[in-house]
Each structure stands twice: as structure tokens, then as C-alpha cells.
Amino acid sequence: MFETGIYVNRRNSLRSLISSGVVLFLGNTESPVNYAGNAYRFRQDSNFLYFFGLNLPQLAGVIDIEEGTDCIYGNDPDIEDIIWSGNLPSMEQLAAKAGISSVSPRRDLKIKLLSAIRKGRKIHFAPPYRGDSKIILSDLLGIRIAELGNYSSKALIKSIVQLRSEKEACEVEEIERACDTGYEMHTLAMRLCKPGIFEYQITGAMEGIAGAANGMTSFPSIQSQNSEILHNHSHNNILQAGKMMVTDAGAETCAGYASDFTRTIPVDGKFTSRQLDIYNTVLAANNLAQRISKPGKLYYDVHLAAAKTVAEGLKNIGLMKGNVDDAVQSGAHALFFPHGLGHMMGLDVHDMEDLGEKYVGYDDEIQRSTQFGTANLRLGRRLKKNFVLTVEPGIYFIPALIAKWKSEKINSSFINFQKVEEYIDFGGIRLEDNIIITDEGCRRLGKKRIPITKEEVEEEMSK
């Protein structure tokens, strides 16, 4: 947990943004794997963590705007809890860490909410994303589960986005810690990668590093020699010489902050010149995006600039043709780069995605594109100082997508399909770094950049 004042300040800031009503933050419950007593590793709700800091199940926090009070709802440990789990702090001790002196047993939460509802007061809550939380909220508020989303508070969503988007110094320190663990994860994967071993042998060893840093992975690792599959969570292949292995993985610190890096490396430790041509195009797009990201810049424009670098590189190789600006305008690059350049990152690896990307990544000024590829951009709005985000361009040869575009003649004036056929087994390349927006530009997070140039990658792989 951060020091108490951080949570007090955050709740006070929220109070200044919400004019009236009762704000309810439901902490997460334990989530069973195969029977109630065998739960997944506990992960607290990020909004609860942000405003109350307590990393334990079965808690709720209430901010009463008119009363000016904050209260934690939860039960003190009983003798059974102490027998199985050892001495546990009282609710009063826990709440004090978050700067809260008012605690109530969990059963009182419903009484508090019902009394507010009877008086016609607004109950602000964020859209629930877990089944358990939906059931609890439905019971507490008397709203049908299917309708909870409609009743979630837009004012609360916008206020949380406003506060959580600009990272505080203590948060940046945590994210840097997650990045340093990410560095260790990725460089280990580079050293272990060689023909003849199973992908899962690398995945298991790499994920152990996140645990050994007293945290866990920030999302299920993507690690595969089928590097053209954007989100591939199976790791069952034996690595083959000539293929490239993509590793998209990050760490989450014990305080809940994430990193998210991607590297793509030649399985046998040396890039071929064909691989390198594509690789250096992706690297150029990554570097360009970092050069031009700064306060006031639309990330949508940074995405399009990276897409132009991709299209230019592919044109030089003979895979695309025609005017690059026109090609990107008509979305032709998306045959090879069908996802967005990046997303916000913080307490969630896709930060605040539970609140809705239209509030996190877009705003009144800019809405999500409907064009194939660019429609997948999670962050398009103007960057501000202390935003933390990813930069992750890629180029992929996805056989089914190529076949579809070819047969339907999609963007055929910009694509050299005959040449593309020669790359059908190429796989894909994605290179992802994590940045923070500074006064005048941006800074890469983490003490060292994970090896990324040909020379750096080949050297790390040779160790």
C-alpha cells in the first residue's frame, strides 16, 4: 500500500468531481477454480485498490458526498479465520491504513444503500465485470443483472478516468518496477529460446520471474512461434529453426501495477535478411511513435504515423504499392497491421478497460474509427503529461486474412498479392515498449530497454 495520505487525497479529488450521492466501490471476492475452497490467486478490483488500497476480499467502500464521510464495510476476523489464516488485522486497523475511521460490518452495507435509495439519492457505481460482483450488486441495489450496465454512473466513470489517467509519482515508481521485472522475463525468454524445446518450457520459466518478484503476470502470456496470431495463449509447439517466437508478456507488482512488453525473435538466434527487412520496419514504426508522442498530440495521429512507416517499409520490400498516404487513408496497411498502436497502462494492463474504452481512450473530441484495423485502436485521444501507455506496432502475415482480401479484392490497388503469397508462412512481428508522457515528449519506462536491435537480440540469445 502507498502511504495513507495518497488514498485520502484521491477520495477528496473524487469528491470534488461528483456533486452529490453515494459512491459505492465493491471490492472483489475470492473466485473459485474448481470448488469454493480452492480459489484463483486473489486480485482486488482496481478502482477499489486505487481509492482504498486494501488488497483483501469481501470489502466495500462507500463515499457519501453530502455527509462528507468515507466508510469501509467488512467483517472482523472470527476465531475460525484466525485458526486457518493466523492473526489478522481488525477492520479498524485496516481502514486506518486508508485514512478511514468509520467501519461497519458487511451486512450494514445494504441498510446504508437502501436508506439512500429510499431518499431518492443517486448511488454511483462502476460497471461490474465479474459475475460475483454482478450478483452482489443486483442484490444490494435491486437492479436486474442484465440492467446493471445501464444504471452504472457516467459521472463516476468520467471522474475515475480523469483521476487514474495521469499517474502519480508513486504509481510511476511501481510501473517502473513492473517494467524491470518485464525486462528480466523477456531477456530470460531470449536466452532460453532455441530449436527443439517446447514453448511452455520458456513460458513457465519466464512467468516464474513475475512470481519471484512478489507479483504475478499482468495478463496471460502470449508466447508462440505462430507469431502471426495476435493473442495466442497456447504454448504447446516445439520451437523450430527458421520460425520467429513472439513473446507478449508483462509483470504485475504486488501493489497491482502492470508492464506489457512484446519482443519477436528468431528461434535459432540469428535473423535472416528477409526477417530483418520486416523486423526493422516494425522497429522504425515503434521508434517513430516514441519520437512523436508528446502532450497535446492525438494518439490517433501517432497510430496513423506508425501505420505510414509500416506501409512505406512494406512498399520498399514490394509487398505494398501506390501512394503511402492514400494507402493508409483507405486502411490498406491493416492487412498487415490489423490492431491499434497501443493502450493506457496502469493498475490494469489495459488500464480502466472495465470502464469502457470510449471513455478511457476517446472523448468528445475524437471517437473510435469504424475502419477495419484502426477500429481496434484502444487509445486515440490527446496525450497528457503523466499518461502511461504502450507503443506496439506490428506486421503479420495472417493466411486467412490475406486469402479473404485477395479473393474480395480489398485494397488491391495498394497490395501486391503475388509477392504477399511468398510471405504466407512468415509469421508476424510485434515490438512493444511502455512509455510515460513527459513535459515535452515521452520517456521509456524501465531501467533498460529490452534488447530490440538485431545486434542486441542476437547477443542476448547467444548467452
Q: How far is the CB of 89 from Mn ion (least distance, A)?
A: 36
Selection from ligand GLY, Mn ion, none that 372 binds (CB < 5 to 8 A by kind) is none
Selection from Mn ion, ligand GLY, none that 378 binds (CB < 5 to 8 A by kind) is none
Rule CB under 5 A: which of 379-408 touch Mn ion?
Answer: 390
Nearer to ligand GLY, 207 or 248 (CB): 248
Q: How far is the CB of 443 from Mn ion (least distance, A)?
A: 18
Q: Cβ contacts of residue 117 below 8 Å, gap of 6+?
A: 123, 141, 142
Asked if residue 260 binds Mn ion (CB under 5 A), the reply is yes
Enter the C-alpha cell of residue 338: 490489423
Each residue of 138-150: b (16+ CB within 10 Å) or e? bebbebeeeebee
Q: How far is the CB of 185 from Mn ion (least distance, A)?
A: 14
Residue whose grid cell is 506501409:
311
Q: How many residues bind ligand GLY (CB under 6 A)?
A: 4
Q: How far is the CB of 279 from Mn ion (least distance, A)?
A: 18
Q: Which of 174, 207, 228, 248 binds ligand GLY (CB under 6 A)?
A: 248
How many Cβ atoms sit within 10 Å of the Cβ of residue 82?
A: 11
Nearer to Mn ion, 100 or 289 (CB): 289
Residue 237 DSSP class: P
Q: How far is the CB of 324 from ligand GLY (least distance, A)?
A: 26
Q: Which of 70, 180, 260, 348 binds ligand GLY (CB under 6 A)?
A: 260
Q: Convert residues 177-216 into a mask of x (bound to ligand GLY by CB under 6 A) and - (unbound).
A: ----------------------------------------
DSSP H helical ranges for 28-90: 46-52, 79-85
Encoded amino acid at 47, one letter: N
Q: Strand, coil or helix: what is 220?
A: coil
Question: CA 252 to CA 348: how far, in whole Å?
Answer: 9
Express the helix, strand and coil content of the chain in percent, nearest 5 each: 45, 15, 40
Asked if residue 252 binds ligand GLY (CB under 6 A), the reply is no
Nearer to Mn ion, 70 or 348 (CB): 348
Residue whose grid cell is 504509481:
171
Q: How far is the CB of 138 from Mn ion (least distance, A)?
A: 33
How many Cβ atoms sit within 10 Å of the Cβ of residue 108?
A: 13
Asked if residue 45 binds ligand GLY (CB under 6 A), the reply is no
Nearest to 363 by CA among 162, 167, 151: 162
Q: How far is the CB of 180 from ligand GLY (least distance, A)?
A: 18
Count Cβ atoms within 10 A of the Cβ of residue 57 and give its class: 0-12 exposed, 13-18 middle, 19 or more buried: middle
**Residue 61 to residues 70, 113, 232, 370, 398, Cα–Cα distance (Å):** 7, 12, 37, 38, 47
How many Cβ atoms sit within 10 Å of the Cβ of residue 413?
A: 12
Question: CA 84 to CA 179: how far, in whole Å?
Answer: 35
Nearer to Mn ion, 231 or 409 (CB): 231
Q: How far is the CB of 252 from ligand GLY (least distance, A)?
A: 12
Q: How far is the CB of 357 from ligand GLY (least distance, A)?
A: 12
Q: Convert residues 315-354 into a mask of x (bound to ligand GLY by CB under 6 A) and - (unbound).
A: ----------------------------x-----------
Rule CB under 6 A: which of 215-234 touch ligand GLY?
Answer: 219
Nearer to Mn ion, 219 or 372 (CB): 219
Give residues in contact with Mn ion (CB under 5 A): 260, 390
Contact residues for ligand GLY (CB under 6 A)? 219, 248, 260, 343
